[in-house]
Amino acid sequence: MVSEDLLALLVCPMDQKSSLRREGDALVCTRCGPRFAIKDDIPNMLIEEAELPPGCDALTDLECVRSGDARVDVP
């Protein structure tokens, strides 16, 4: 199990402030919605490896990016 203390410290790597909620074997950003898989009790917080929410085809579609709170380097 990921400890509740650790979970409370983690924030979304996109805007670095939104909190995350536990959903099965993943952490989900409460704002922009990507799913970060938890493997061997360690959440993988790499946004490049996160599962994007429905309707989002790219990181630039995320709500926090569109509103200007997060930046992604688009190649």
Residues near Zn ion (CB under 5 A) are 12, 14, 18, 29, 31-32
Q: Which is nearer to Zn ion, 40 or 69 (CB)?
A: 69
Q: Which is nearer to Zn ion, 27 or 29 (CB)?
A: 29
Instruction: Kindly state the tokens that stand for 27.
Output: 């952490």
The least distance separating Zn ion from the CB of residue 14, rounded to whole angstroms, comes to: 4
Amino acid (one-letter) located at 13:
P
Q: Which is nearer to Zn ion, 40 or 73 (CB)?
A: 73
CA distance 68 to 44: 24
Q: Of the candidates 73, 72, 69, which has an alpha carbon nearest to the alpha carbon of residue 31?
A: 69
